[in-house]
Amino acid sequence: MKKLSTALLLTALAVDAHAQADRTHQLDIAWNRLYDYEGITKLAERIQQTWPDRVSLQSIGKSYEGRDMWMLVVNEPATGDDRSKPAFYSDANVHGNEVQGAETNLYLVWYLCEHYEELEQVRDLVDRVAFYVLLTVNPDGRAAWFREANTASSQRAPRKPFDDDHDGEFDEDPYDDLDGDGHITWMRKKVERGTGTHKEHPDWPGLMVRVAPGEDDGDWVLLGAEGIDNDGDGRFNEDGPGYYDMNRNWPSSWNPNHLQGGAGEYPLSHPETRAIAEFILDHPNIAGVQSFHNAGGMILRGPGLAEYGQYPRQDSRVYDAIGEEGEFMLPFYRYMIIHKDLYSVAGGFVNWTAEGLGIFSFTNEMWSNKRMRQGDAPMSDVDRRRWDDRMTFGENYVAWKPYDHPFYGEIEIGGAKKMTGRVPPTWLIEEEAHRNAAFVAYHAGQMPDVELVDLEVESAPGGMHYVDVTARNSKLIPTRSQIAAEHAIGMPDRLTLRGDGIRVIAGGKPVDRWRPERIDFVERDPATQRGETGVPSRGDWTVRWVVAGSGAFTIDFESEKATNRTIRGSID
Task: State pLDDT tens for residues 375-388.
Answer: 777 888 899 899 99
pLDDT at 17 over 80: no
pLDDT tens-digit series, residues 26-73: 999 999 999 999 999 999 999 999 999 999 999 999 999 999 999 999
**H-helix or E-strand containing 390?**
helix 381-391
pLDDT tens-digit series, residues 230-276: 988 889 988 888 878 999 999 999 999 999 988 999 999 999 999 99
SS3 at position 386 = helix
Q: Are 412 and 403 in contact (CB under 8 A)?
A: yes
The pTM score is: 0.94
What pLDDT does 232 receive? 87
Look at phi and psi of residue 107 and say left if phi exceeds 0, alpha if psi is from -120 to 50, else beta: alpha
What pLDDT does 4 receive? 46
What pLDDT does 295 receive? 95
pLDDT at 310 over 50: yes
Q: Are 340 and 304 in contact (CB under 8 A)?
A: no
pLDDT band at 160 (very low <50, low <70, confident <90, very high): confident
What pLDDT does 264 receive? 93
pLDDT tens-digit series, residues 496-543: 999 999 999 999 999 887 887 788 999 899 999 999 999 999 999 999
Average confidence (pLDDT) over 536-558: 98
Which of 239, 101, 228 minimizes the C-alpha distance to 170? 239
pLDDT tens-digit series, residues 201-222: 999 989 999 999 999 999 999 9
What pLDDT does 514 receive? 85
User: Can you name the residues that pair with 542 across neighbouring β-strands?
Assistant: 470
**What is the overall mean pLDDT for the chain?**
94
% pLDDT > 90, the chain? 83
What pLDDT does 22 receive? 57
pLDDT band at 133 (very low <50, low <70, confident <90, very high): very high
Average confidence (pLDDT) over 402-422: 96
Q: Which domains does the chain have, with CATH numbers?
A: 2-145+268-367+425-445 (3.40.630.10), 162-240+377-421 (no CATH), 450-571 (2.60.40.10)
Average confidence (pLDDT) over 450-463: 97
SS3 at position 431 = helix
pLDDT at 5 over 70: no
User: Can you name the residues that pair with 362 across neighbouring β-strands?
Assistant: 290
Which of 28, 30, 24, 49 minimizes the C-alpha distance to 117? 24
Q: Are 346 and 355 in contact (CB under 8 A)?
A: no
pLDDT tens-digit series, residues 330-389: 999 999 999 999 999 999 999 999 999 999 999 999 999 888 877 777 888 899 899 999
What pLDDT does 239 receive? 80
pLDDT tens-digit series, residues 112-122: 999 999 999 99
